[in-house]
């Protein structure tokens, strides 16, 4: 008799109608445990199981002694997960079989009661929605930190003027604070879209079963309250097969990363010797393996790439969902891997940009020097004439003539003699020389959203107000989830 033993069979939640177990090669391909580990999906699945158990107990579906044993078992697993002493091990098909298998090892056959009236279809999407709610809250808080860093630097640099660019050509003078506030408001829209996606995500699918609904009278509204969901799904077929929320969240993350990619790309450009507007401290730069003189903005280049990293999962989800019939299909298992990739990209980019904006060195003198070239205040010449009754189209032409005169003289517009202005038009007076300075140009942009100093000060105040509102939402979302978990643990106390 051989001393070898048959290898242990992995725990599975199905198999009664099968004559043989799955081919190990196929099982390895279908296994989703590595994906399910994403950001404590185990924890969220345990909370979903506790809510389901509470509903089963309150409906009288499971005997009181069974309820007590399962409640103690699930709570102990949850405590072990939070202590870091329990992590999914190989040999299980997914996180759900790991939970039930671990309970079976600890409690015996009584663990088989837990899946009463529930399918992995509604189980997984419940845990996934909970995990994504948590991820959105975490990312939203990070976005607030980046916005806060942006506001802090903008307030400290309110007097710095630099050229703004259109078509990558010098266009008009703006305050650096105004330039960076542009990205603050982009991030504000990203936060708002994330919050809006959270609202549609905040729907409980548990109780939908595999596709037709649970076969037991569980109180779904009660389950929603215990898990912190704002509503319950309206249709069991839609609930188990719906991945709109995945598409929407990844789309929002891609939009966020597009904004950060633009900002990172701009800063990389500003760090070239040709611009030299900003630089990174040595602690945030990298070198070259062959060129000793190099100081590379690798961190920003990686930020710039993350939009492409997230765009791939977005296309994946679109392609998976296209033409998929209603209800659950195995194709939907690709949703978590895609979401993990997108969140990793977003978290990396926001963290990196926050670090960069806090530490970036601004070269004020280089920005000031760049204001001298390119005749940035030519529009002020035309506007000056309009204020003296010249139609804008004529004023635009005359301003072009002034630019030609300055170009031929090799001087900037504020240095062009008044006589040269008057050779172009008798409407010019001595005050035009002040109007065409960068400071004079800024003062005229005195409209809401403009770059005039007082308007930028107003914008900083408005931005601070928006940031306070955003942080309040994150705090409330966190408090709501914590309160729901407290109710859940009380309801599932053995």
Question: Which token pair is 228?
Answer: 């912190």
Residues 284, 156 within the same domain: yes
Q: Which tokens belong to 138?
A: 């975490």
485, with CB counted inside 10 A (0-12, 13-18, 19+), is middle
Mean pLDDT of the chain: 92
Residues tagged active-site: 167, 288
Does 351 lie in the same domain as 392? no
Token readout for 390 is 């010249």
Domain of 72, CATH number, reads: 1.10.275.10
Instruction: Summarize pLDDT for 227-269 with one digit per residue, the tens.
Output: 999 999 999 999 999 999 999 999 999 999 999 999 999 999 9
What is the spatial distance between Cα 192 and Cα 7, in angstroms, rounded to a whole number? 52
Q: What CATH number is attached to the domain comprising 190?
A: 1.20.200.10
Residue 352 lies in a domain: yes
φ, ψ of residue 37 to 5 degrees: the values are: -70, -15
We report the CATH number of the domain holding residue 408 as 1.10.40.30
158 and 186 both lie in a single domain: yes
**pLDDT 10s digits, 326-368:** 999 989 989 999 999 999 999 999 999 999 999 999 999 999 9
* pLDDT value at 120 more than 70: yes
| Residues 194, 136 contacting (CB under 8 angstroms) | yes
Beta pairing partners, 172: 164
Whether 260 and 340 map to the same domain: the answer is yes
Which among 379, 367, 370, 374 is positioned nearest to 442, based on CA atoms? 379
237 vs 285, which has greater pLDDT? 237
DSSP code string of 167-222 = TTEEEEEEEHHHHHHHHHHHHHHHHHHHHHHHHHH-EE-TT-TTTT--SS---HHH
- Residue-level pLDDT at 25: 60
Indicate if the pLDDT at residue 7 is higher than 70: no
Question: By residue range, what is the domain housing residue 413?
Answer: 378-436
pLDDT value at position 284? 84
Question: Per-residue pLDDT tens for 76-112?
Answer: 999 999 998 988 877 777 888 889 999 999 999 999 9
Q: Among residues of the chain, what percentage have pLDDT more than 70?
A: 92
CB 202 within 8 A of CB 187: no
Q: Which of 223, 27, 249, 239 is nearest to 121 (CA)?
A: 239
In a domain, residue 153? The reply is yes
Residues 209, 229, single domain; the answer is: yes
Same domain, 29 and 139: no
- Maximum Cα–Cα distance across the chain: 114
Helix axes 41-58, 220-227, angle to 10 degrees: 140
pLDDT band at 29 (very low <50, low <70, confident <90, very high): very low
User: Is position 455 within any domain?
Assistant: no
Instruction: Give how far Cα 121 sits from Cα of 96, 152, 189, Å.
Output: 11, 47, 33
pLDDT score of 494 more than 70 = no
Percent of the chain surpassing pLDDT 90:
82
* Bridge partner list, 175: 161
Across the range 454-459, mean pLDDT stands at 98
Q: Do 114 and 126 lie in a common domain?
A: no
Specify the number of domains making up the chain: 3
Tokens representing 376 are 């940035």
Query: What pLDDT, on a 0 to 100 scale, did the predictor assign at position 3?
Result: 41
Helix (H, G, I), strand (E, B) or coil at 17: coil
Same domain, 306 and 207: yes
Please report whether residue 70 resides in a domain.
Answer: yes
Same structural domain, 477 and 416 = no
The 10s digit of each residue's pLDDT in 160-219 is: 999 999 999 999 999 999 999 999 999 999 999 999 999 999 999 999 999 999 999 999
| 205 found inside a domain | yes
Domain assignment of residue 5, yes or no: no
- 163 forms bridges with which residues in the sheet? 173
Note whether 375 and 412 are within 8 A (CB): yes
Q: Is residue 165 part of a domain?
A: yes
**Residue 179 sits in the same domain as residue 30:** no
- Regarding whether 238 and 331 lie in a shared domain, the answer is yes
pLDDT at 446 over 60: yes
Do 165 and 219 lie in one domain? The reply is yes
Q: Please list the residues that pair with 231 across neighbouring strands.
A: 203
For residue 317, count other CB atoms closer than 10 A to its CB.
Answer: 24
What confidence score (pLDDT) does residue 59 get? 96
The length of the chain is: 494
């Amino acid at each position: 008799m051989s001393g070898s033993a048959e290898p242990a069979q992995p725990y599975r939640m199905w198999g009664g109608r099968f004559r043989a177990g799955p081919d190990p090669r196929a099982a390895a391909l279908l296994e989703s445990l590595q994906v399910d580990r994403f950001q404590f999906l185990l924890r969220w699945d345990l909370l979903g199981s506790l809510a389901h158990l509470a509903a089963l107990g309150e409906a009288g579906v499971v005997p009181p002694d069974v309820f007590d044993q399962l409640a103690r078992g699930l709570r102990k697993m949850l405590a072990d997960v939070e202590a870091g002493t329990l992590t999914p091990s190989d040999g299980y098909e997914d996180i759900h079989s790991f939970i039930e298998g671990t309970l079976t090892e600890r409690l015996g056959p009584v663990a088989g009661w837990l899946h009463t009236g529930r399918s992995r279809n509604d189980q997984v999407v419940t845990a996934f929605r909970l995990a994504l709610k948590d991820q959105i809250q975490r990312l939203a808080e990070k976005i607030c930190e980046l916005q806060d860093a942006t506001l802090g630097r903008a307030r400290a640099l309110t007097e710095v003027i630099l050229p703004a660019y259109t078509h990558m050509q010098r266009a008009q003078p703006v305050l650096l604070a105004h330039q960076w506030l542009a990205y603050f408001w982009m991030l504000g829209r990203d936060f708002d879209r994330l919050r809006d996606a959270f609202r549609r995500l905040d729907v409980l699918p548990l109780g939908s079963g595999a596709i037709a609904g649970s076969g037991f009278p569980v109180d779904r509204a009660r389950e929603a309250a215990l898990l912190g969901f704002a509503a319950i799904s309206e249709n069991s077929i839609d609930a188990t097969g719906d991945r709109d929320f995945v598409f929407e969240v990844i789309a929002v993350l891609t939009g966020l990363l597009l904004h950060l990619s633009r900002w990172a790309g701009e800063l990389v450009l500003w760090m070239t010797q040709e611009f030299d507007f900003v630089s990174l401290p040595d602690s945030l730069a990298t070198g070259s393996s062959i060129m000793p003189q190099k100081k590379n903005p690798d961190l920003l280049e990686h930020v710039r790439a993350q939009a492409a990293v997230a765009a791939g999962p977005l296309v994946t989800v679109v392609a998976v969902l296209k033409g998929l019939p209603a209800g659950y299909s195995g194709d939907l298992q690709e949703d978590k891997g895609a979401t993990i990739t997108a969140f990793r990209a977003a978290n990396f980019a926001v963290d990196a940009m926050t670090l960069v904006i806090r530490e970036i060195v601004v070269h004020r003198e280089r920005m000031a020097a760049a204001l001298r070239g390119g005749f940035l205040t030519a529009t002020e010449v035309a506007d000056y004439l309009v204020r003296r009754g010249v139609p804008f189209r004529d004023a635009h032409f005359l301003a072009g003539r002034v630019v030609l005169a300055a170009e031929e003289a090799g001087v900037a517009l504020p240095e062009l003699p008044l006589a040269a202005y008057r050779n172009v038009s008798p409407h010019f007076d001595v005050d035009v020389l002040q109007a065409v300075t960068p400071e004079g140009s800024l003062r005229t942009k005195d409209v809401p959203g403009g770059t005039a100093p007082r308007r930028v000060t107003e914008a900083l105040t408005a931005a601070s107000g928006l940031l306070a509102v955003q942080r309040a939402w994150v705090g409330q979302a966190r408090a709501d989830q914590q309160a729901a978990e407290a109710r859940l643990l009380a309801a599932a106390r053995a």
